[in-house]
Chain A
Amino acid sequence: SQTIHQWPATLVQPVGSPLSLECTVEGTSNPNLYWYRQAAGRGLQLLFYSVGIGQISSEVPQNLSASRPQDRQFILSSKKLLLSDSGFYLCAWEGFQGGEAFFGQGTRLTVV
């Protein structure tokens, strides 16, 4: 069966520090992968999506970047965090049966 792993679960970082969040998927090949951010009490905002290795599409201009160095690995990064980068970051992959997205456990990032 397919599983998605995302870490860390919680992160507190100072303003101006770098960020690297990692997401890996097991049990499938060539998945479509997504990074979302959810501000407190808000909906999910699509940040990046990837249909293959090295293929990244950005939905909104921001202080973040994404990379896909391997088929089942998706990384969200920042060189210098801003206070506004705080939020709940979710990685997801697209399933095949119904086209639905399955989410990792999420990373709660607090920038202080």
Chain B
Amino acid sequence: GQNIDQPTEMTATEGAIVQINCTYQTSGFNGLFWYQQHAGEAPTFLSYNVLDGLEEKGRFSSFLSRSKGYSYLLLKELQMKDSASYLCARGGDFNKFYFGSGTKLNVKP
């Protein structure tokens, strides 16, 4: 497989900040993607990192370190609607995307 690892489940409080980590196999790397998936629905694209550093998009930010094979998704000012699974995906050879198993985030009031 592609050895994409992320925590299975996390819980955080409304209004707080949460960081979801992802590690991946570095060979043949072609970009790191984060998706949000609500139960029973298709994943929706959140962010894309191809260079090292932080990409910010409103309440969501994503960080990448290519040498370490590491990324994280940072969610600020958590809202109840942020309760979902967050999928880390790695772009590979020949435009293939490989997904981790996802992190289920539970936001509590």
Q: Give residues in A with beta carbon < 8 Å to B.
A: 32, 34, 36, 42-46, 49, 51, 57, 59, 90, 92, 94, 98-106, 108
Contacts of B98 in A (CB 8 A): 46
Query: Interface on chain A toward B: helix, strand, loop, or mixed SS?
Result: strand
- Cα separation A40 to B52 with both chains bound (whole Å): 33
Asked whether B95 lies within 8 Å of A106 as measured between CB atoms, the reply is no
- Cα separation A36 to B87 with both chains bound (whole Å): 14
- Cα separation A36 to B37 with both chains bound (whole Å): 14
The residue in chain A whose Cβ has the minimal distance to the Cβ of B55 is: A98
Digitize B40-57: 1 where CB-to-A-CB distance is under 8 Å, 0 elsewhere.
111111001010000000
Pick from B66-74, B75-83, B99-107 the stretch touching chain A.
B99-107
Contacts of A103 in B (CB 8 A): 42-44
